[in-house]
Structure 1
Amino acid sequence: MQNYLEFNFKISPLQPWNEILMAELIEIGFDSFTEEAEGILGYIQKDLLNKDELKALPIFGNEEVKVEYSFQEMPNINWNEEWEKNFSPINIDDKVLIRAEFHESVPGMHEIIIQPKMSFGTGHHPTTHLMIQQMMDFDFNGKEVLDMGCGTSVLAIYAKQQGADHVKAIDIDEWSVENSKENAERNGVKLDIEQGTADNLGKENYDIILANINRNILISDISTYVSVLNDGGKLLLSGLCFFDVDDIMEVCRENGLELKKQLQREEWVSLLLEK
């Protein structure tokens, strides 16, 4: 198991700054969160923490919000146990339910069953919700699909369940790759799963690319996504806060992408683009 640090962030005012802080923390290596009455608990692997990056986060220089924090080391934390304490099913428009095996099934809803190896922070819920909400309008039948930064492979699993011909799922994290394989088997679907980054791309082309990552990686990798996206293909992005949209759209336009639909949930945004 990894040695983690738990940061206790006190935020005033809480909204919308808790979501903004989570977005900034994700970009420097924090991978999970728990929302508290006065702020958030944030978790990062001890060897990934860069104190200078933390102190330089834009939110600390913003006069509209006050953020204080303390931290403690949590060696050998049992992430499955922590996740089970904090994870609730994700209901998308009463049509799709993302749940764990220990949650009750809901008749009439399409279900995706997952069991992550790491804490599934509540800060991730809006982006997952937005991605699935956009995907519900897609025609996946016979399509070639790529899920970049697949995590638990919820999106890849849903695409395959909806009729995609071939789905590749890629993540830089070894735990995510192993967890994706387990979740694919748990849902009775076949995925092509591998560890890596956008550098893995180039041998295959796709009709639909899904990327729920973060602003910096998206800006860096959009041109690579476009290079393997078929003409008329869809690129669906999330992991973005509302204040990231202008920067992302500038890169998208430079790469010949047209915005088709934008959704927002809390402070998080999803963008559907077409080549």
Structure 2
Amino acid sequence: MTASTISTKGTALITGASSGIGAVYADRLAKRGYDLILVARNAERLNALASRLTAATGRSVSTIVADLNDKAALAKIENVLREDSRITVLVNNAGVGSVTSVLNDNVDEMEAMIGLNITALTRLTYAVAPVFAGKGAGTIINISSAVGIAVELLNGVYSASKSYVLSFGHTLQRDLADKGVRIQTVLPAATATEFWDVAGYAQQKEAASTMTAEDLVDSALAGLDQGELVTIPTLQDGDDWTRWEAARRALTPKFANANPAPRYLLPTERV
């Protein structure tokens, strides 16, 4: 049976798709009936994955070799998202991390991290969001991290970049939910992928608390099926997130004051 004779749910474009979490998303979404556009830097891995998935699922799988920190390459993917009407899902998975402190890291490498983790994700989302809104349908899955909340655990720029993804997701939900566009922000904790080799802490892959990429993606897709806006696969009690998020939102109206809080008044001004 060829891909053209199999019912399709549209096409999912996945960044960082050649290995790890991105490759598992490719496998799972193909098995769910999506055609794929896989984006990554490693052509050999991309082509091998595409061949395997086509043989296993019958889906149409195309590849684009691109470094999303290259402006021309990023613009090419943006154009694909704007112009290919078959695309119904964007998985913003591409990212890089670090475990070292500000005293030991190279600032140029940190700037590149911001470019990939924040700028590329933002530009790709901005490219596809109007298309999905115009159709009244579409799904954007942004991969954040648990360190977007537990910000002290790893490198500060990495944590901050993932906090951005979480905050960005909240505003996307605000802007796009009534347009029929689904936004899911996924917060993996430690996951057994090559991320740790690049970040400089390969031993984390073997830790008892580290989740497999397969379990991570399967949990994230289960969360998507359940309508979750934010999915944290390792968090055992979902009510912990609900309470934390409710407390955060409850602060918002308390910021609207023209006068400083009493604790900031000079001693002579206090009553």
TM range (shorter): 0.3 to 0.5
In the superposition, the TM-score normalised over structure 2's length comes to 0.40
Q: Is the radius of gyration larger for structure 1 or structure 2?
A: 2
When you count helix as a share of all residues, which structure comes out higher?
A: 2
Return the TM-score normalized by structure 1: 0.39
